[in-house]
Amino acid sequence: MKETPARWKGLWEKFLKFSPGCAEVISSSEILREGVKDPLSLLQDKAKGKYRIEWKERISEADSPTRRLEALREWQREELVRLAWRNFAQPIPAGEAARAWTTLGEFTVQTELALAKEKAPDLDQGETEGFAILALGKLGAGDLNFYSDLDLIFVYGEDEKESAATRLARTVVGDLDAPGGERIYRIDLRLRPEGDRGPLVFTPDALAEYYEAYGEVWERCAWIRGRGVAGDEENAYELLQALQPFIFPRGLSPSALGELFQQKSRAEDELVADEDREREIKRGRGGLREVEFPVLGLQLLHGASQPTLQTHDLRKAIRNLEILGIIKQGEAEILRGGYDFWRRLEDFLQMRQLRQTHLLPENPEDMDLLAQALGQGTGKELEKMVEGWRGRVRHVYDSILGDLKPKTVAGVDWPGGVDWADAKAARLAWESLEPGEEVHASGRTKENFQRWLPLLEKEMRRCVRPDPALTGLANFVQAYGARSLLYESLCASPKALELLVRFFESSESLGRALVARPELFEAVTQSELDTPSNGGISPASPGLASTGGGSDGCGATLCPRGGVADRDP
């Protein structure tokens, strides 16, 4: 088609009609209003070098950190809209669009970190040289979309002050995620250890120790996409190297992928309203999550033995899974095609009002506008295409994860036949042992708990004084903290459970001392523990067991596809 001024003017008017949110930004931007006089100038692909030049020009008259932050906010918003126009005017592959959004996101975070250091108090100067920002999620994957959150993790040098690093991190978050119209990016910190309850900053050693002791399957998957994006590159690199055995372990329990399946199903059931299920493109049937979860799961299972799968790039991971024969060619084509379709649709949904959404429009006129912007004809035609991708992606998702639903062990009822002195108090202690919805209550923790209950019931029936035995054990479990490790250890070594129960039964005063210092459990039992037959637990190792790399003590043999051979415990 001939590139005439009239055609560009028509496209521009359609863009403004399609995206009222972009139109509002354009109306307040002299640069964008001038640029539309020459629309081709707004279509160029800019690398970070071009951004640096533009940024230096933009702040030439900004004489304070506050004004430079305001300039950053305005510049980022203008560039976001310019890239939206570029995607609207010229159909761009989803991967290329994602790289452009990512370049903008990275440059913005890097620039903000420099501004935050500039305005740090004097007492913090020189105390944050090792400070680094790592990204998980889409920014970590180099696959940002138009209005993505940024999932960030902050680390600092081993010899630096935590207080200084915390103040710097708070400044970065506060500047980027200011309330109302001052927000540049929404910052999500919930993927850090302990979520919103955890520290804001960590040393690399502290992070590595946390994941070795407490890391769950979803955290392994999250870190597959981990990448340093700003600050001290060496500190970020060393952390990622230290986490490799955790991210890509050599052995997983049979419930590993089942846990991913369970999390996805729970998110769909709890976070998506019934009336929105067919409009939701992220968590709904056959949506984005059903492309991402199987790929991440297979990377998790095979990454230790297949280094080509140790990539944060989902598209490369799909290609390499196909090359390795782990997924079939047809499955790879559906995963690639579905991912690109959903990502492009996601971008255009969010470009419309400059807000984060994953719901298709309810209004037929809005659906028509969306379809036309995507070059898909009418809203009805787009709906038909959406339904087609839902079906194809769900079929592949089920073929990979569908046979890996978590296997549950029949629960053991309250052992009422035991001769309790205070049945009511004992029942409360018994119920307190069950893992709830706290941070570390993963599918694996719950499965190991169910496996452990019959062993515990047997020990309770053998007790002469079951009340203090159960009360002491319940208090010990609360104090120990890492239930996922403790339950797994006690399942693998029943002798340890027997000794623990006898200890609390025999002496309440010694039992209280052990609860106060649960780390002494190893010293109490080490000389008498059975040697675990599966090699997954070493009584001499910290916390009874290690989840970082190697077998996790469940005796699973992984099938080539990522299934599990018939060796369930």
Instruction: Quickly list DSSP for 114-178.
Output: HHHHHTS-GGGTTS-TT-EEEEEHHHHTT---TT--EEEEEE--TTS-HHHHHHHHHHHHHHHT-
- Asked if residue 290 and residue 242 are part of one domain, the reply reads no
Around 354, how many Cα atoms within 13 Å sit in the side-chain half-sphere?
24
The residue among 314, 297, 559, 283 whose CA lies nearest residue 443 is 297
Residue at 107 is within a domain: no
Q: Residue 246 and residue 211: Cα distance in Å, rounded?
A: 7
Q: Can you give the pTM of this predicted structure?
A: 0.74
- Asked if residue 457 and residue 393 are part of one domain, the reply reads no
The residue among 246, 241, 231, 234 whose CA lies nearest residue 201 is 231
Of the residues 197, 226, 247, the one at which a domain ends:
247
Query: What's phi and psi for 435, nearest 5 deg?
Result: -65, 135
Q: Residue 75 and residue 58: Cα distance in Å, rounded?
A: 8
- Using DSSP's 3-state secondary structure scheme, residue 540 falls into coil
- Using DSSP's 3-state secondary structure scheme, residue 558 falls into strand
Cα 187 to the chain's mean position, in Å? Answer: 13
Of the residues 404, 426, 460, the one at which a domain ends:
404
The residue among 484, 419, 494 whose CA lies nearest residue 454 is 494
Please report the pLDDT score of residue 564 as a whole number: 29
Please report the pLDDT score of residue 543 as a whole number: 33
Q: 354: alpha, beta or left, given left = phi > 0 and alpha = psi -120 to 50?
A: left
- Asked if residue 448 and residue 311 are part of one domain, the reply reads no
Please report the pLDDT score of residue 551 as a whole number: 30
Q: Residue 314 and residue 38: Cα distance in Å, rounded?
A: 36
The residue among 445, 465, 443, 537 whose CA lies nearest residue 494 is 537
The residue among 18, 78, 91, 6 whose CA lies nearest residue 42 is 78
- Asked if residue 558 and residue 494 are part of one domain, the reply reads yes
Residue at 21 is within a domain: yes
Query: What's phi and psi for 280, nearest 5 deg?
Result: -80, 125
Q: Along the 569 residues of the chain, how does pLDDT read in single tens digits?
A: 456 677 788 888 899 999 999 999 998 888 888 877 777 778 888 999 999 999 999 998 888 989 999 999 999 999 999 999 999 998 889 999 999 999 999 999 999 999 999 999 999 988 999 999 999 999 999 999 999 999 999 999 988 999 999 999 999 999 999 988 899 999 999 999 988 888 999 999 999 999 888 888 889 999 999 999 999 999 999 999 999 999 998 866 655 676 666 666 666 666 667 777 889 999 889 999 999 999 999 999 899 999 999 999 999 999 999 999 999 999 999 999 999 999 999 999 999 988 889 999 999 999 999 999 999 899 999 999 999 999 999 999 988 877 665 444 444 567 877 889 998 889 888 888 887 644 445 556 776 787 788 888 888 989 999 999 999 998 888 887 667 667 777 877 788 888 889 889 998 888 888 888 877 776 555 444 444 434 333 333 333 333 333 333 332 222 334 332 222 22
- Asked if residue 40 and residue 143 are part of one domain, the reply reads no
Place of tokens 């090359």: 323
Please report the pLDDT score of residue 148 as a whole number: 92
Q: Residue 351 and residue 25: Cα distance in Å, rounded?
A: 12
Q: Residue 268 and residue 278: Cα distance in Å, rounded?
A: 11
Q: What is the CATH number for 346?
A: 1.20.120.330
Q: Taking the CB of residue 322, how many other CB atoms lie within 10 A of it?
A: 18
Q: Are 116 and 168 in contact (CB under 8 A)?
A: yes
- Asked if residue 559 and residue 464 are part of one domain, the reply reads yes
Q: Which amino acid is it at 153?
A: I
Q: Taking the CB of residue 361, how many other CB atoms lie within 10 A of it?
A: 18
Please report the pLDDT score of residue 444 as a whole number: 60
Q: Residue 289 and residue 247: Cα distance in Å, rounded?
A: 19
Query: In the 8-state DSSP scheme, what is residue 532?
Result: P
Burial class (CB in 10 A: 0-12, 13-18, 19+), 68: buried
Structural domain count, the chain: 4
Residue at 505 is within a domain: yes
Q: Residue 170 and residue 112: Cα distance in Å, rounded?
A: 12
Burial class (CB in 10 A: 0-12, 13-18, 19+), 337: middle
Q: What is the CATH number for 135?
A: 3.30.460.10
Q: Residue 550 and residue 2: Cα distance in Å, rounded?
A: 61
- Asked if residue 423 and residue 464 are part of one domain, the reply reads yes
Residue at 113 is within a domain: no
The residue among 352, 416, 330, 344 whose CA lies nearest residue 375 is 344
- Asked if residue 515 and residue 366 are part of one domain, the reply reads no
Place of tokens 């675990």: 532
- b vs e for 384-419, b when ≥16 Cβ sit within 10 Å of the residue's Cβ? ebbeebbebbbebbeebbeebebeeeeeeeebeebe
- Asked if residue 396 and residue 284 are part of one domain, the reply reads yes
Q: Are 100 and 44 in contact (CB under 8 A)?
A: no
DSSP letter string, 383-428: HHHHHHHHHHHHHHHHHHHGGGPPPP-PPPPP-TTS--SSHHHHHH
Residue at 10 is within a domain: yes
Residue at 104 is within a domain: no
Q: Are 82 and 76 in contact (CB under 8 A)?
A: no
- Asked if residue 144 and residue 16 are part of one domain, the reply reads no
- Asked if residue 241 and residue 183 are part of one domain, the reply reads yes
Please report the pLDDT score of residue 458 as a whole number: 87
- Asked if residue 295 and residue 219 are part of one domain, the reply reads no
Of the residues 373, 404, 435, the one at which a domain ends:
404
Range of the domain at 303: 256-404
What share of residues in the chain are helix, strand, coil (percent, to 5)? Answer: 60, 5, 35
Residue at 303 is within a domain: yes
Q: Residue 10 and residue 381: Cα distance in Å, rounded?
A: 23
Query: In the 8-state DSSP scheme, what is residue 538?
Result: -
Residue at 48 is within a domain: yes
DSSP letter string, 41-60: GGS----HHHHHHHHHHHTT
Q: Residue 291 and residue 91: Cα distance in Å, rounded?
A: 23
Place of tokens 């190991």: 448
